[in-house]
Amino acid sequence: MATENFIQSTSEIARISEDSAKLKIESKEFDLPVVKATCGPDGILISKLKNEAFVTLDPGFLTTAQCSSNITYIDGEQSILRYRGYPIQDLAEKSTFLEVAYLLIYGYLPTKEQRDSFIDDVNGRTLVGEDFRSFLGGFPRDAHPMALLSSSVAALGTFCSGTSSVHDLQAIEEATKNILAKTRTITSFLHRRRRNEPLLYPDYSRGYVDDFIRMCFAIPYERFESNPLLVDALDKLLILHADHEQNCSTTVVRITGSSNASLYSSVAAGICALSGPLHGGANEKALKQICEIREYIKEGKTIQDFVNMVKDNKQKLAGFGHRVYKSYDPRAAIAKEYAKKMYDAKIGDLDLFELAFELEEVVMEDDYFSSRHLYPNIDLWTGLIYKAMGFDPEMFTTIFALARIPGWIAHWREMHRDPLTKIGRPRQVYTGPVYNKYISVDERKL
């Protein structure tokens, strides 16, 4: 069962090869071990340099791997994204979000029995207690939902007593399913509170995504049938966002967890990191930008004029570019298909979809972007789709967070069973004053 699988062999996590790398600095020579990757670049283990008068400096971790991992593989040159070896295209076509969550967390595709029991377990935990609802009621309605979501997930641990231990496998299992289940309910509450609408209770008999949509949009006591296209589209977007190896928020989750902070606290920290406009917040920004383009066009200008203005001011076009993908983001290709499906079904603001399709064409033909290997990323499309579904832009990143929960949990659990894990504590190259003699306040001058 799942719990047993949690204690799997650690030998597959880091495989030290017989090769080594040589580093010569001044008169010192270092023989550095190489960790073999199954695909992608091998890693040079530099921990040996510590206390030897040298540290490595790599702002933004452009060339630094902070761990070895067997969860997700990305080849940014070839547009490849695989979870546990399975191509994202196959998972998006054939799987469902909770099955993918199982795959990421436990490392293998479940049998039908395992999958059904996992789904029942998660769906059966979606209720949050009345005290939690009162707690949530204390926040301002107009606060940004990402701030509320991170606070709520941190607080969730206090409402699920006995599940915060990082040493008790049963507690970790409980926390895993509580976070997956209850964050969905909390996200629907955040959506409704913003609109001053009554909060709905979960219906265990409905699917995870179907019931999320009902809890966001149904009128109390009225029969609600979700539009199957919206259920399918949201399920797929959740799969596409479910993991993305060592991105900013996942790194935060791993480093927070490395201090033995609980799963709840670590995921809450990840949500804070995701809220930034260069990461999860880009979908909200991308939609705002398309709305800006609409205004721009009303003034008689063109999309190309807008793109030129961005280039001239050395700004960043939201929804384009990626640290890892230097070719077309494979998630963006699938998300675009769903944008087209929504457009064909005439759901949402059709003019915004048309502008996004056109913006993509303009950018793809522009040398500035092609010479820098800047392609559309998934966030170009997700904001448009969420808006068409009826979500406010401020809610977009909360849906991204909901999707990323299986990935964060999988990484937290992997980090804990990796024998190489140490508390995350990077070094620095100090460039400040060497020594200052203290001056009393009366003697200080400007």
Handedness of CA 131, 133, 134, 138 (dihedral sign): positive
- Between residues 123 and 382, which has the closer beta carbon with respect to ligand CMC? 382
Smallest gap, in angstroms, from Cβ of residue 161 to ligand CMC? Answer: 34
- Between residues 193 and 322, which has the closer beta carbon with respect to ligand CMC? 322
326 touching ligand CMC, by CB under 6 A? no
Concerning whether 379 is annotated as a catalytic residue, the answer is yes
Using CB positions, name the residue nearest to ligand CMC.
321
Angle at 68 between CA 64 and CA 73, to 5 degrees: 90
Among 95, 185, 377, 398, binds ligand CMC (CB under 6 A): 377
374 touching ligand CMC, by CB under 6 A? yes
372 touching ligand CMC, by CB under 6 A? yes
Beta bridge partners of 86: 83
Report d(CA 151, CA 269) in Å as an integer.
Answer: 9
Among 144, 294, 301, 323, binds ligand CMC (CB under 6 A): 323
- Scanning residues 260 to 279, which ones bind ligand CMC (CB under 6 A)? 278-279
- Between residues 132 and 320, which has the closer beta carbon with respect to ligand CMC? 320
- Between residues 13 and 380, which has the closer beta carbon with respect to ligand CMC? 380
Q: Which two tokens stand for residue 235?
A: 């399920």
Smallest gap, in angstroms, from Cβ of residue 46 to ligand CMC? Answer: 22
Smallest gap, in angstroms, from Cβ of residue 41 to ligand CMC? Answer: 17
- Between residues 126 and 150, which has the closer beta carbon with respect to ligand CMC? 150
Contact 413, 6 (CB under 8 A): yes
Smallest gap, in angstroms, from Cβ of residue 317 to ligand CMC? Answer: 4
318 touching ligand CMC, by CB under 6 A? yes
Stretch that binds ligand CMC, among 67-75, 184-192, 230-238, 321-329 (CB under 6 A): 321-329
321 touching ligand CMC, by CB under 6 A? yes
282 touching ligand CMC, by CB under 6 A? yes
- Between residues 172 and 269, which has the closer beta carbon with respect to ligand CMC? 269
- Between residues 282 and 290, which has the closer beta carbon with respect to ligand CMC? 282
Beta bridge partners of 25: 28
184 touching ligand CMC, by CB under 6 A? no
219 touching ligand CMC, by CB under 6 A? no
317 touching ligand CMC, by CB under 6 A? yes
Among residues 322, 329, 411, 418, the one annotated as catalytic is 322
- Between residues 321 and 407, which has the closer beta carbon with respect to ligand CMC? 321
320 touching ligand CMC, by CB under 6 A? yes
Concerning whether 418 is annotated as a catalytic residue, the answer is no
Among 206, 236, 244, 413, binds ligand CMC (CB under 6 A): 244
Among 288, 316, 326, 416, binds ligand CMC (CB under 6 A): 316
Stretch that binds ligand CMC, among 100-108, 123-131, 339-347, 376-384 (CB under 6 A): 376-384
Among residues 211, 329, 379, 418, the one annotated as catalytic is 379
Residues in CB range of 29: below 8 A, 6 or more apart: 22, 23
**Which residues are at the interface with ligand CMC (CB under 6 A)?**
244, 247, 278-279, 282, 316-323, 372, 374, 377-379
> Active-site residue numbers?
322, 379
